Amino acid sequence: MSQAIEEVHASLQRQFKGDLLRPGEDGYADARSIWNGMVARTPGLIARCADVPDVQAAVRAAAAAGVLTAIRCGGHSLAGFGSCDGGLVIDLTRMRQVTVDPESRSARVAGGCLLGSVDVATQKTGLVFPSGVVSHTGAAGLILGGGTGWLTRRFGLSWDNVAGYTLVTADGSLVHAGAKDNPELFWALRGGGGNFGVVTEFEVKLHPLTSLILGEGLCAGDGVPHFLRRWREFMPEAPDNLKWNIGLRLAPDTETVPAHLRGRPVVSGALVWLGDLDEGNRHMDRALTLCHPATVTKKVVSFLELQTMADHEFPHGQRYYSKSGYFSCLNDNTIERMVEAVATIPSLHSQIELAYLGGAMARVAAGETAFGDRSTPFIINFLGNWSEESADEANIAWIRNVFNALRPSMKPGVYINFMSADEDDRVPEAYQERWERLVAVKSHYDPTNFFRLNQNIPPKKS
């Protein structure tokens, strides 16, 4: 252990209420691992905070000793930003309180919550917070990057539903940011990721919802490009209540997939309808009839069932790599290239995910948040998912090649939550004309770039 990390440990031991874990100590091995099995790092110290003063103490001690520091909520950063070698991890996994106020339809969500902890607490009173699609993802990392999911078209991005943030900044101060307090920081937090401090609490807005219609359709062979073209044409006219996500992959070997399709390139569509059931059934039937899928299912499910249905597809410890981009429109050539690419996927678990955003999310003005341009509706995510280290090269190369082939038809921009570790150079692309304003906020709140294990916005050199 380095001298600097020894200093941090000694300083924290005097006051820390949570757990301090060093290599070799009980609990360290479990605490060290993060979701992406490609990222195996060995922090010098994991400070598992019990409360806000613990977070303040950890930030102050690490800043004083000049120790590299990672912030961890759910540990699902694809890039592995939730850990580091030799440095300090400020781990928020003990801070998972959710306090719901059904009357004002709002909640206070602590900085270490998983999406599942938020969903379970809010559903007790029939309310929801719009977030992501896998319940073991960290709420803080997801919200700070944007937060897209099944409810985005109806209620906006996660942070469109955040009224205030409480955070520990780089000097250890506790700061509140909202429409009236520190409005520039509030603007920057809605897009700037973990650059400005450790968020210990989000004040979020909730919406009533307990059940919905889930429809699924699967198509193989020549039907795949047809399916994608119909989806492309249908979505711009679709009501906000309908979300329709697409997966291009090799069909899994599961009972729900007809035997003759397993292992073949397929397109799967998952449709979610929020609201009146009769109206939803009409929209879903129309959408699926247009696409001629080989198999169709449709059922009413609970919100909690929806939010956990994909959990098993993304287990902890697998090897993951991703790249992402936006399309203003999907032309036939792009569709053909995507379909060709699926035939060469090296892993049965990898996929090309497509979603159509729009709706409430697109109605927030570009300048209102640091997220910026919301007018590009098609988002693509190439998600590599495999288990053997020996297959790293083939899987990463497949994603890079397909991404590079499609990049000329993409609109510049990238969603920071889907970025991998080797994409530092794309951070300014994510923010574009908002970059200088973000740099100014960063320079004010974190002039030494203490919070740098993230999609980093470096402060101005003084």
Cβ atoms of residues 31 and 46 within 8 Å: yes
Q: Any idea which residue has 């993802």 for tokens?
A: 137
Smallest distance from the beta carbon of 174 to ligand FAD, in angstroms? 13
Smallest distance from the beta carbon of 256 to ligand FAD, in angstroms? 20
Question: Strand 88-91 and strand 162-168: pairing?
Answer: unpaired
Smallest distance from the beta carbon of 420 to ligand FAD, in angstroms? 10
Tell me whether residue 71 or residue 291 sits nearer to ligand FAD (CB atom).
Answer: 71
* Site for ligand FAD, rule CB under 6 A: 35, 70-78, 81-82, 92, 111, 132-134, 137-138, 140-142, 144-149, 193-194, 198-199, 314, 417, 453-454
Question: What is the distance between the alpha carbons of residues 79 and 420, in angstroms, rounded to a whole number?
Answer: 4
Smallest distance from the beta carbon of 416 to ligand FAD, in angstroms? 8
Question: What is the distance between the alpha carbons of residues 399 and 382, in angstroms, rounded to a whole number?
Answer: 6
Tell me whether residue 54 or residue 224 sits nearer to ligand FAD (CB atom).
Answer: 54
C-alpha angle 128-357-338 in degrees, rounded to nearest 5: 130
Sheet holding 88-91, edge to edge: 19-21, 45-48, 88-91, 69-72
Tell me whether residue 156 or residue 293 sits nearer to ligand FAD (CB atom).
Answer: 156
Tell me whether residue 165 or residue 403 sits nearer to ligand FAD (CB atom).
Answer: 165
Smallest distance from the beta carbon of 149 to ligand FAD, in angstroms? 5
Residue 83: DSSP 8-state: -
Half-sphere exposure of 345 toward its Cβ, with a 13 Å CA cutoff? 26
Tell me whether residue 167 or residue 224 sits nearer to ligand FAD (CB atom).
Answer: 167
Cβ atoms of residues 455 and 430 within 8 Å: yes
Smallest distance from the beta carbon of 273 to ligand FAD, in angstroms? 18
Smallest distance from the beta carbon of 166 to ligand FAD, in angstroms? 10
Smallest distance from the beta carbon of 179 to ligand FAD, in angstroms? 20
23-51 burial, b at 16+ Cβ within 10 Å, e below that, comes to eeeeebeebbebbbbbbebebbbbbbbee
CB atoms within 10 A of CB 123: 18
Tell me whether residue 149 or residue 164 sits nearer to ligand FAD (CB atom).
Answer: 149
Inter-CA distances, 114 with 39, 138, 278, 405, Å: 20, 4, 33, 35
Question: What is the distance between the alpha carbons of residues 435 and 426, in angstroms, rounded to a whole number?
Answer: 12
Tell me whether residue 145 or residue 359 sits nearer to ligand FAD (CB atom).
Answer: 145
Tell me whether residue 134 or residue 410 sits nearer to ligand FAD (CB atom).
Answer: 134
